[in-house]
Structure formats: structure tokens, C-alpha cells
Amino acid sequence: MRPIARPEVDTLVDDYQRVGFAYVRQLFTADDLASLIDALDQGGASPGGFSVADSQGGQQELSVWTHLGNDLVGRLSRLDRIVSLATAVVGEPVCHWHSKLSWKRPGTDTLWDWHQDYGFWFAEGVARPDMCTIAVAVTPVTEANGAMRLVPGSQEHGRIEVTQLGEGQGSDPTVVTELVETHGTELCELEVGDAVIFHSNTLHASGPNRSGQPRTMWMGSYNAVSNPPAEPSPAGRASEAIDPLPDEALVNGWPSVFGETAFIDPTEQGLTQGYDTKLL
């Protein structure tokens, strides 16, 4: 794993504050992620998966977990290089909110409607949007296979109301249209191991996978320690600052890839967030 030097982090924090997101190219190499890549059934469902409806009648697939075990995915969310980036952009020690895999099978028409993550997290009683997500490409992520689009500067708008969009959920479309027209959008294409870190109020969306290859991203979300949800979370979200693991913990010594991970069942745990949700 390449070293991440202070000037790179400073530039990243500047970008994040200015436009609401920043890239870290080759945060991991494909070799660093090889065991995770091998463990995923790239053409089909990932472990613990469920789907949420989108506005066009599609079902967007993902797996989510909050408890971090000693397995590979439990360690990934606690790695020093991840936690230190989240801490740098949030500006204080962070706790783990949740981690997920978000994937699009080859030739599927599902999409993520325009939304801010904080729109949903606010509904769990979190007072401030001092939260971020780090997305890492597990496959190449391209326009053809459904890369995210982000709206630069949208984090400055503040929270937008979440509204029903067909069977799905997303940010109020009137505000989205205005922000897309005034700020434009940026396509977020990633090579395997590249990362993008984005603010919880940054508007984002992604389109269908029209390619013959799957599109998979790991996403870790983090919250400022001083910003806990109002009620104890039904998902068991953490409230203590993460004690980071050395980066080598990703490649050495873990007992399994997913063996200690308890995947969230959103229907059982009251976390459907208004989406029409199905277990896979």
C-alpha cells in the first residue's frame, strides 16, 4: 500500500470543503483488495444482500453492516488510511456509522436516485451533517457500468427534504434540478482501489449498468463522535471513536472475509427509510 503523505491529505481536505468530495487514486492496489474481490460473486448477489426500489421500477442491490468484526471487511472500515481520511475531513475523531457493498449486476437498469445521505441520517436524529462516506472501487467503475455522479458544491446548500419518487426515495426533485442546473455534475469514474470521499450533504446519484461487467463499490460511512443519533440506533451504530488498525491488517491475519459480519436486515431492524425493500 502506498504511503499517504500530509500534503495529499491537506489537498484532499481543501477539495472536500470546496466541492464536497475528493479523490484518492490508488488508496489500495488491486492486490490489496484481491481477497475481497475473490470472495464476491461478481456476477450475482453479494452476501447479506437486499434491494431498495428506485423511481423507475428497478431494485438497487446492496449489503450493509454496522458491527465491525475481525474479518476482512470488519478490518477494512477500521484501517488507519481510511479512518485518518475520515477524521481529516470531518475535523474530529469519528465513529463508524455503517459500511456497505453497493453493486450493479451486468445489464441491469437499476439506479440510485439523486439524494444526500444526510437526508436519511437526519431522520435517525443526527443533529449535524458532520458525516462522510469513503467509496472504494472493487471493480472498475465507469459511465457504462453506472458510475456515480456528484454535484460539486451541493454540500453548501444544506439538507434537502427526502421525498417519495415512485416506489423509491430521494431528494426533493425541484431542488435537485436547480442545483444540477447551477452547479453541473461530475462523473465519478474509478479504477479498482481508487477512492472518493464525499460529504453527507453532497448530492449524488448513479445510473444503470449497461455493460457486460458488474459494478461493485465498498462504502464506509463515518460520523463525528460529538454528533450521535438522538436515540440508540436500531442498527447498533457505534458511538465511540474508532481505534484504527495498521494498514497491514487488511492483508494479514484475518480469519475470513465476511465470517464475523452480521448483515443488516432493514425490514427487521426498522431501517427501510421509506424504501420498498426486499431481501435477496
Ligand X SMILES: O=C(O)CCC(=O)C(=O)O
151 binds ligand X (CB under 6 A): no
Distance CA 279, CA 165 (A): 21
Least distance from ligand X to the Cβ atom of residue 262, Å: 19
Distance CA 38, CA 80 (A): 23
Is residue 249 classed as helix, strand or coil in its secondary structure? Answer: helix
46 binds ligand X (CB under 6 A): no
Distance CA 135, CA 116 (A): 15
Least distance from ligand X to the Cβ atom of residue 206, Å: 3
82 binds ligand X (CB under 6 A): no
Per-residue x/- marks for ligand X, 202-231, CB under 6 A? --x-x----------x--------------
16 and 201 Cβ atoms separated by less than 8 Å = no
At CA 270, angle to CA 268 and CA 276, rounded to 5? 90
Least distance from ligand X to the Cβ atom of residue 214, Å: 12
136 and 218 Cβ atoms separated by less than 8 Å = yes
Least distance from ligand X to the Cβ atom of residue 185, Å: 13
118 binds ligand X (CB under 6 A): no
201 binds ligand X (CB under 6 A): no
| Residue choice 59, 99, 102, 200 for contact with ligand X (CB under 6 A) | 102
192 and 139 Cβ atoms separated by less than 8 Å = yes
| Residue choice 83, 101, 148, 192 for contact with ligand X (CB under 6 A) | 148
Is 81 or 204 the residue whose CB approaches ligand X more closely?
A: 204
Cα torsion at 79, 80, 84, 85 (round to 10°)?
A: -50
Residues making contact with ligand X (CB under 6 A): 102, 112, 117, 148, 204, 206, 217
